[in-house]
Amino acid sequence: MKVFLTGATGYVGSVVAEKLIEAGHEVLGLARNEAAEAKLKEKGVTPLRGDLTDVESLKKGASEADAVIHTAFVHDFSNYKGAVMTDRTANAAFLEVLRGTNKPFVATTGSGFLGDTGNEPAGESFPVDKNSPFYARAESEAEVLEMAKEGVRSSIVRLPLFVYGRGGSSFVPFLIQQAKQNRVSHFVKGGEQKVSAVHVDNAAEVYVLALEKASAGSLFNVATESVTNRQLAKAVAKLLNIETENLTLAESNEKFGAMTGFLSINNALCAQKSVDELGWQPKEKLGILEEIKNGSYS
């Protein structure tokens, strides 16, 4: 298939592009500037100039492809609602082109809006937390799943808080940078909250499988392990040769602002559905703690 891919130069999307090409697909990647175009060409991806706010470029990419995979997201936690609105506008643009075609549309969400998942990993039917500061993205997720009723083979890949590996991630570099600045690695409220993680290579495989196999309106959690926030803090401390420190919720809010919402809750996912329905077989990789201490982040 010819696949239009947003976020093709991003952390997750660039690896998805690799996996798509390895699987024999052709990739048309969204590129916001000349540097991004050059980067995509080096990877064997055909660039299409545009960005998430350029609706016409999104429609053009979708119309020229057999499928769309949407991994891009504006990670601006100072204007999270604005970031989600950009995402929802992009989804609406894709729907305008894909309606009635039965073409695959694979979109991305995260597990933050589930809130505190408690002691057991959450499956796909776990209720979203309407009081979560990240609830707006749950609404975006629901809209994508509803596209199945309008003739789109839509599916969602729901990522855990910690996608890691290759020296990147949304949150691991944040934890490391904060620890460097503070000269101590923090955890919150005792740090026993469990959070899920997956290596970026294994996460990218799920997108390819969803493209090829997912039924319309399906949702797939992605995770391979769960660790505690205290373990993460200790791994960062080991990497930087510093100490750890426990923060109260109020102290964390003062230091980390909105990020406290991720650092103070259990947020663990069960990904058995990805294994059972898509045939996902995660490759053996360093776990997130070893990756931080002795892998790509060192």
Each residue's pLDDT tens digit, 111-131: 999 999 999 999 999 999 999
pLDDT attached to residue 259: 83
Within 13 Å and on the Cβ side, how many CA atoms surround 15?
18
Looking up tokens 């420190």, which residue turns up? 245
Q: What is the pLDDT of residue 168?
A: 93
Contacts of residue 31, Cβ cutoff 8 Å, sequence gap at least 6:
8, 9, 37, 39, 40, 47, 48, 49, 50
Does residue 78 have a pLDDT over 80? no
Kindly report the pTM of this predicted structure. Answer: 0.96
Whether pLDDT at 77 is above 80: no
Q: Are strands 194-199 and 46-49 parallel, antiparallel or unpaired?
A: unpaired
Confidence grade of residue 71 (pLDDT, cut at 50, 70, 90): very high
Q: Cα 122 to chain center, whole Å?
A: 16
The predicted-structure confidence for 258-272, as pLDDT tens digits, reads as follows: 788 888 999 999 999
State the average pLDDT over residues 188-208.
98
**pLDDT digits over 20-48, tens only?**
999 999 999 999 999 999 999 999 999 99
Residue with the larger pLDDT of the pair 81 and 159 = 159
Task: State residue 56's pLDDT score.
Answer: 97
> What is the C-alpha to C-alpha distance for residues 109 and 140, in angstroms, rounded to an integer?
8
The pLDDT, as a whole number, for residue 80 is 81
Parallel/antiparallel/unpaired status of strands 225-228 and 2-6: unpaired
Give the integer Cα–Cα distance in Å for 84 and 102: 25
Distance (Å, whole) CA 273 – CA 267: 18
pLDDT of residue 135: 92
- Residue 76's pLDDT band, with cuts at 50, 70 and 90, is confident
Is the pLDDT reported for residue 290 higher than 90?
yes
The owner of tokens 């699987």 is 23
pLDDT, tens digit, 9 for 90 and up, residues 161-193: 999 999 999 889 999 999 999 999 999 999 999
* Average confidence (pLDDT) over 56-85: 92
pLDDT of residue 154: 98
So what's the pLDDT on residue 42?
97
Give the chain's mean pLDDT. Answer: 96
Q: How many Cα atoms are found within 13 Å in the side-chain-facing hemisphere of 63?
A: 9
Question: Looking at residue 170, what is its pLDDT?
Answer: 84
Q: How confident is the model at residue 200 (pLDDT cuts 50, 70, 90)?
A: very high
**Domains of the chain and CATH, by start:** 2-165+197-224+269-283 (3.40.50.720)
